[in-house]
Chains A and B, each alone.
Chain A
Amino acid sequence: MKKILALILCLAMVFALAACGEKPAAETKGEENGAAAGSVYWLNFKPESDEVLQKVAELYTSKTGVPVKVVTAASGTYSQTLTSEMDKSSAPTLFVVGTQAGVKDWADYALDLTGTPIAQELNTDAYNLYDENGKLVSIGYCYECYGIIVNPDLLEKAGHSLDEIKNFETLKAVAEDIHARAEELGFDAFSSSDMDPSSSWRFTGHMANLEYFYEERDAGGWTECPATLTGAYMDNFKNLYDLCINNSLTDPKDLATGGHDAENEFKTGKAVFFVNGSWEYGAVSEAVPNATMIPYYCGVEGEEKAGLNCGTENCWAINGKASEADQKATMDFLVWCVTDPEASRMLVDSFGVMPYTHAAESTNGFLAAANEYSNNGCYVMDWATNYQPNVDDYRAALVSALNAYNADQSAENWATVVTAFVDGWATQYQNANG
C-alpha cells in the first residue's frame, strides 16, 4: 500500500515537473534519468549522516523522479547488514567500501569505477581504494578529520592557552592541572570516554589510529592490510589513553556501560577536551563557536609537527551485479550529488570536505584547522585504522580489554590490551585471509 502510494507520489511529481514547460538544461537531463527506470538504493554506514542523506535523496527524487532509497545500518553492524542486504533480491546499488578489509570482501561485487563520470569529477586520487588488480573499487566522497576537540574559552578560564599545547608533555601538564582544580573551576579536562557501542569507536577506531599510523610511517606506508603489527607505539597510545580516562569527568571504573553524554558535557562547558571528529562540528559549534581541534599528541618524537587525522571511510562503490539501469541511475545520482550546488552544499555541511571539482566549499572549522596544520608544514596522520582486518569483532575484543583496564589499571591488564590490539590483529588477519 505504502509502495503504491509512494509510486503515485513519484509519478505525480514527474508530471508536475513535466508540466513546468521550459526548463534549464540540468533539469531536463534529470528527467531523462527518470525515464531510464533505474532506481538507487544506498546502504549508508554512518548513522549520524542519515538525516541529511534522506533529505538529499528526497531532493533528488523530487527533481528527477528517480527513486532513491537510503538505508542506514546501526552503528557497529554495517558489515553484517551489507552481507545480508547484498544477498537480497533488491540489493543495494550503492554501498560503502571504506577499508582494505572491505575491498577484500567486496571487490568482486563492485563496479570498476576507472574513468567513469564520477571518477572524472574527482580532484584527488588520495581517497580512492583499489584492489590488488588495480580495479578502482570505491572512490572517496568526502574526507574527515579527527583529533581532540578543544574549548579554548575554558582553557583560558583555567589560565592556559592553546599555544601552550605543543606536544604530549604540555598537553598532559594542562590536562592534569585542570583535572586537579576541577572542583574549583567547575569543569574538567576530558569529557567521558564511554565504552558502550555508541561511543567506544572513538577509541578503538580513532585513537587507536595513532599507533597504526606511526607504525605505517615507519614501514614507509601500507598498501594493504599488514598480516601483523609490531605494537611499537603501544606506549604512546597508552600515554594519551591514560591521560584521557584519568583526567575526566567520569571515574574510569564507570565507563563500561556508558550512559554519559560526552558531547553534551562538552557543549555545556563541563569539559575542555572531547575526543571526536569533524562531523561533530555542526553540533558543537552552536554551543562553542570557537571550538577547534588539536592532534593526538602522544609522546612520539617530533610530534610538534603532527597534524590531524585526515582520511575517510566514506567511499562509494557501485554494485556491479545490479541491473544496468540501476547502475546508470546510481551513477547519475552520484554525479548530481557532487555537482548540484544545493545537494553538494548539504552533503558538504554534513560530511566536511568533498574532493570534487564542482562540489561546494566546506565551512567546517575543524577541517579548516586540519588545513592550517597542513599549511604550516605538519604531517597529516592518515587513517591507517582503515586497514583493520575486521572491524566489529576486533574492536569488540579491544573494548572488552579496555574495560578491564579501566577498572584496574594494572600492568597485567594493559598487557591484555596489547594482546587484543596487536595479536588480535594477526588473528583476525588470519581468519580473513587464511
Chain B
Amino acid sequence: MNNKSTLSAERRNKTILSVVLTVICVIYVLPVLTVVLNSFKLNTYVKTDTFALPKGEMWAGFDNFIKGMTFGNYPFWKSVVYSVVITLLSTALILLFTSMAAWYIARVNSIACKAIYFLCVFSMVVPFQMVMFTLSKTADALRLNTPWTIPIVYLGFGAGLAIFMFVGFVKSIPLEIEEAAAIDGCGPLRTYFSVVFPMLKPTMISVGILEIMWVWNDYLLPVLVLDINEYRTIPIHIQYLKGSYGTVDLGATMALILLSIIPVIVFYLSCQKHIIKGVASGAVKG
C-alpha cells in the first residue's frame, strides 16, 4: 500500500512539475512573442499598448519591415552582410590557425610554446575594457577597420580560449597515429591536414560554435574598431537606431530586432545538439 501511494505521489509530482515547467516555458517565450507583436504595430502604439495584439488601427502590416530596411540612414541588409562576413571569416580564421598552433604547441612543447600557451591562458582572464582603447587605435593604424580585416583582430583577441581548448584535446590524442604517418613519409603539413585535422572535428565544432556566438553578438569590439560610418554590424545598427536621427520608430526597431533574431533561432534549432555541447565544454574548461 505504501509503495502504491508513493508511486501515485510520484506521478502527481511529475505532473505538477510538468505544469510548472510549461508555465515557465511560456513565460520564457513571451518576450520574443512581444517583439513579434510589436513589429507589426504602428509606432505610437508600441509604447501605449505593448502587450496588445496588433489589430485594428494599430496594425501596421509589413510597413515596419519595409521602413526598417532603410531606417536610421543605413540599409539593414548591409549590416546583415557585414555581420555574416565578419562572423564567418573570423570563425574560419580562428579554427584554422589556432588549431594549427595548438597542435604545434602540444607536440613541440618548447619554451617558446609554453610561453605562448601561458599568454593565451592569461589573455582569457583579461576583460576587454583593459585593451579596448589601445586595441582600437592599433587596429586602426594597421587598417584592420573593415569587415575583411577585422577577423585578424578577432583571431588575436579570441585566440586564448580556442588554443586552450585545442591544446587540451590534442594532448588526449595518442602520438602513435601521427608517428605512423611520419613513418609513412608524411611531412608535418600533410600529417596535420590529413591526419590531425580530421581528428579535431569535435573540438572544432565546440570552438566554432563558441566563436560564432561571440562574434555575431559582439558589440563593443566592432563598434570601436570598425569604421562604423561605413560598416555596421547588426548589434551596432540596432544600438544606433536608438541614439540618433531624430525620432525613434519603435515599431521599425522591433521589426529589425525580429529580423535579426530569426537567423539566430533557425541556426540554434538546426544545430541545437552541437551548440549545447559546445557551450557546455567551453564552460567546463573556461
Residues of A within 8 A of B (CB): 47-48, 50-51, 71-72, 74-77, 84, 87-89, 196-199, 254, 257-264
21 A-B pairs (CB sep. < 8 Å) = A47-B244, A47-B246, A48-B245, A48-B246, A74-B245, A75-B243, A75-B245, A77-B243, A84-B136, A84-B224, A197-B243, A198-B242, A198-B244, A198-B246, A199-B247, A259-B46, A259-B248, A260-B44, A260-B47, A262-B247, A263-B247
Smallest Cβ distance from B46 to chain A, in angstroms?
Answer: 7
Instruction: Report B-chain residues with C-beta under 8 Å of the C-beta of A74.
Output: 240, 243-245
B243 near A261 with CB under 8 A, answer no
| Closest A residue, CB atoms, query B142 | A89
List which B195-246 residues lie within 8 A (CB) of chain A.
224, 229, 240, 242-246
Instruction: Report A-chain residues with C-beta under 8 Å of the C-beta of B140.
Output: 87-89
Query: Residue B141 contacts which of A84, A89, A199 (CB distance < 8 angstroms)?
Result: A89
- Determine if B67 is an interface residue (Cβ-Cβ < 8 Å): no
- Determine if B137 is an interface residue (Cβ-Cβ < 8 Å): yes
> Chain B: interface secondary structure?
helix
- Determine if B6 is an interface residue (Cβ-Cβ < 8 Å): no
A259 near B47 with CB under 8 A, answer yes
User: Bound state CA distance, A88 and B143, in angstroms?
Assistant: 10
With contacts A47-B73, A259-B43, A261-B43 taken as known, whether A197 is within 8 angstroms of B246 at the C-beta atoms is: no
User: How does the 8 Å CB contact mask read for B245-271 relative to A, with 1 for contact and 0 for none?
Assistant: 111111000000000000000000000
Instruction: Report A-chain residues with C-beta under 8 Å of the C-beta of B46.
Output: 259
With contacts A88-B140, A259-B47 taken as known, whether A75 is within 8 angstroms of B244 at the C-beta atoms is: yes
| Closest A residue, CB atoms, query B43 | A261
Instruction: Report B-chain residues with C-beta under 8 Å of the C-beta of A72.
Output: 73, 229
Smallest Cβ distance from A121 to chain B, in angstroms?
Answer: 29
B248 near A87 with CB under 8 A, answer no
User: Bound state CA distance, A258 and B43, in angstroms?
Assistant: 11
Smallest Cβ distance from A105 to chain B, in angstroms?
Answer: 18
A71 near B229 with CB under 8 A, answer yes
A50 near B248 with CB under 8 A, answer no
B137 near A87 with CB under 8 A, answer yes
Instruction: Report B-chain residues with C-beta under 8 Å of the C-beta of A259.
Output: 43-44, 46-47, 248, 250
A51 near B73 with CB under 8 A, answer yes
B136 near A261 with CB under 8 A, answer no
B248 near A258 with CB under 8 A, answer yes
User: How does the 8 Å CB contact mask read for B75-86 relative to A, with 1 for contact and 0 for none?
Assistant: 000000000000
User: Bound state CA distance, A260 and B48, in angstroms?
Assistant: 10
| Closest A residue, CB atoms, query B250 | A259
Query: Residue B248 contacts which of A47, A76, A88, A196 (CB distance < 8 angstroms)?
Result: A196
User: Bound state CA distance, A72 and B243, in angstroms?
Assistant: 13
Instruction: Report A-chain residues with C-beta under 8 Å of the C-beta of B247.
Output: 198-199, 261-264
Smallest Cβ distance from B64 to chain A, in angstroms?
Answer: 14
Instruction: Report B-chain residues with C-beta under 8 Å of the C-beta of A257.
Output: 47
User: Bound state CA distance, A88 and B229, in angstroms?
Assistant: 14
Query: Residue B243 contacts which of A48, A198, A254 (CB distance < 8 angstroms)?
Result: A198
A47 near B250 with CB under 8 A, answer no
Instruction: Report B-chain residues with C-beta under 8 Å of the C-beta of A199.
Output: 247
List which B36-89 residues lie within 8 A (CB) of chain A.
43-44, 46-47, 73
B229 near A198 with CB under 8 A, answer no
* Pairs of residues from A and B, 8 with the lowest C-beta to C-beta distance, nearest first: A74-B244, A259-B47, A71-B229, A261-B247, A75-B244, A47-B245, A88-B140, A197-B243
Instruction: Report B-chain residues with C-beta under 8 Å of the C-beta of A262.
Output: 247
| Closest B residue, CB atoms, query A48 | B246
User: Bound state CA distance, A84 and B244, in angstroms?
Assistant: 18
Instruction: Report A-chain residues with C-beta under 8 Å of the C-beta of B143.
Output: 89
Instruction: Report B-chain residues with C-beta under 8 Å of the C-beta of A258.
Output: 248
User: Bound state CA distance, A87 and B223, in angstroms?
Assistant: 16
User: Bound state CA distance, A321 and B140, in angstroms?
Assistant: 18
User: Bound state CA distance, A47 and B245, in angstroms?
Assistant: 6
Q: Which of B73, B229, B249, B250 has the most CB of A within 10 A?
A: B229
Q: Given A197-B244, A263-B247, list of 19 further CB < 8 A pairs? A: A47-B244, A51-B73, A71-B229, A72-B73, A72-B229, A74-B243, A74-B244, A75-B245, A84-B136, A87-B140, A88-B137, A88-B140, A89-B143, A197-B243, A198-B243, A258-B248, A259-B43, A259-B44, A264-B247
Smallest Cβ distance from A41 to chain B, in angstroms?
Answer: 11
| Closest A residue, CB atoms, query B249 | A261
Instruction: Report A-chain residues with C-beta under 8 Å of the C-beta of B245.
Output: 47-48, 74-75, 198
User: Bound state CA distance, A197 and B224, in angstroms?
Assistant: 20
User: Bound state CA distance, A197 and B240, in angstroms?
Assistant: 11
User: Bound state CA distance, A76 and B239, in angstroms?
Assistant: 13
Query: Residue B44 contacts which of A77, A84, A261 (CB distance < 8 angstroms)?
Result: A261
User: Bound state CA distance, A340 and B174, in angstroms?
Assistant: 76
Instruction: Report A-chain residues with C-beta under 8 Å of the C-beta of B250.
Output: 259
Instruction: Report A-chain residues with C-beta under 8 Å of the C-beta of B240.
Output: 74
| Closest A residue, CB atoms, query B45 | A259
User: Bound state CA distance, A345 and B112, in angstroms?
Assistant: 65
Smallest Cβ distance from B114 to chain A, in angstroms?
Answer: 36
Instruction: Report B-chain residues with C-beta under 8 Å of the C-beta of A89.
Output: 140-141, 143
User: Bound state CA distance, A198 and B143, in angstroms?
Assistant: 32
| Closest B residue, CB atoms, query A50 | B73
Instruction: Report B-chain residues with C-beta under 8 Å of the C-beta of A197.
Output: 242-244
User: Bound state CA distance, A199 and B248, in angstroms?
Assistant: 9
Smallest Cβ distance from A205 to chain B, in angstroms?
Answer: 14
Instruction: Report A-chain residues with C-beta under 8 Å of the C-beta of B243.
Output: 74-77, 197-198
Q: Which of B73, B136, B247 has the most CB of A within 10 A?
A: B247
Instruction: Report B-chain residues with C-beta under 8 Å of the C-beta of A50.
Output: 73
Instruction: Report B-chain residues with C-beta under 8 Å of the C-beta of A47.
Output: 73, 244-246
User: Bound state CA distance, A397 and B263, in angstroms?
Assistant: 38
Smallest Cβ distance from A349 to chain B, in angstroms?
Answer: 18
User: Bound state CA distance, A51 and B73, in angstroms?
Assistant: 8
Instruction: Report A-chain residues with C-beta under 8 Å of the C-beta of B43.
Output: 259, 261
Instruction: Report A-chain residues with C-beta under 8 Å of the C-beta of B244.
Output: 47, 74-77, 197-198
User: Bound state CA distance, A259 and B46, in angstroms?
Assistant: 8
Smallest Cβ distance from A58 to chain B, in angstroms?
Answer: 15
User: Bound state CA distance, A52 and B136, in angstroms?
Assistant: 30
User: Bound state CA distance, A88 and B224, in angstroms?
Assistant: 12
Instruction: Report B-chain residues with C-beta under 8 Å of the C-beta of A261.
Output: 43-44, 247, 249
